[in-house]
Amino acid sequence: ITEGESLDVIENNIKIFSAAVQSHSATASHQAFYVFRVVGGKANKLARHLPLNLTNVALTKCAANTIHDLAAHVHTVHMLGEAIVSQFHSVLFLSHEARGPFEDRENGAWWNRIVSVFNSFPNVGVLGSSISCEFAPHVQSHALALRSDAAVRILLTSQIKGLLETGLTTTALKLGYNISSLTYQRRWNETVFTGECRHEKGNYPMYDANPSSWCDIRPEDALFMKWGGAPLSLRGYYCQQTIDSIREATLKIAEADQSVHLSLPETIFGGQLYALSKEYDLERWNDRFVQHFKFNSLARGGEEPQKVCF
202-229 tens-digit pLDDT: 888 888 999 989 999 999 999 999 999 8
Whether 157 maps to a domain, the answer reads yes
> Which whole number is the average pLDDT over 228-250?
89
Whether 265 maps to a domain, the answer reads yes
- Give SS3 for 143: strand
Q: Could you read off the pLDDT of 98-128 as tens digits, one per residue?
A: 999 999 999 999 999 999 999 999 999 999 9
Reported pTM? 0.90
Indicate the pLDDT class of residue 294, thresholds 50, 70 and 90: low
Q: Could you read off the pLDDT of 68-97 as tens digits, one per residue?
A: 788 889 999 999 999 999 999 999 999 999
Residue 177, C-beta contacts closer than 8 angstroms, at least 6 positions apart:
123, 124, 125, 126, 147, 150, 154
The CA distance from 203 to 217, in Å, is: 13
How many of the other CB atoms lie within 10 Å of CB of 87? 10
Q: How many domains are contained in the chain?
A: 1
- Give SS3 for 179: strand
Whether 1 maps to a domain, the answer reads no
Asked if 281 contacts 267 with a C-beta cutoff of 8 angstroms, the reply is: yes
- Give SS3 for 144: strand
Residue 178, C-beta contacts closer than 8 angstroms, at least 6 positions apart:
121, 123, 124, 125, 192, 193
Whether 287 maps to a domain, the answer reads yes
Asked if 208 contacts 202 with a C-beta cutoff of 8 angstroms, the reply is: yes
> Which CATH number do you get for residue 19?
3.90.550
Whether 15 maps to a domain, the answer reads yes
Indicate the pLDDT class of residue 310, thresholds 50, 70 and 90: low
Q: Looking at residue 281, what is its pLDDT?
A: 87
> Which whole number is the average pLDDT over 302-309?
51
Whether 36 maps to a domain, the answer reads yes
Using the predicted structure, report yes or no on whether residue 268 has a pLDDT greater than 80.
yes
The CA distance from 248 to 235, in Å, is: 20
- Residue 261 domain boundaries: 7-309
Whether 264 maps to a domain, the answer reads yes
Q: Could you read off the pLDDT of 126-168 as tens digits, one per residue?
A: 999 999 998 899 999 999 999 999 999 999 999 898 888 999 9
The CA distance from 176 to 112, in Å, is: 24
Output the CA–CA distances (angstroms, integers) from residue 305 to 8, 114, 260, 282, 301, in the order listed: 10, 32, 21, 21, 10
Whether 2 maps to a domain, the answer reads no
Indicate the pLDDT class of residue 301, thresholds 50, 70 and 90: very low
> Which whole number is the average pLDDT over 33-43?
93
The CA distance from 21 to 17, in Å, is: 6
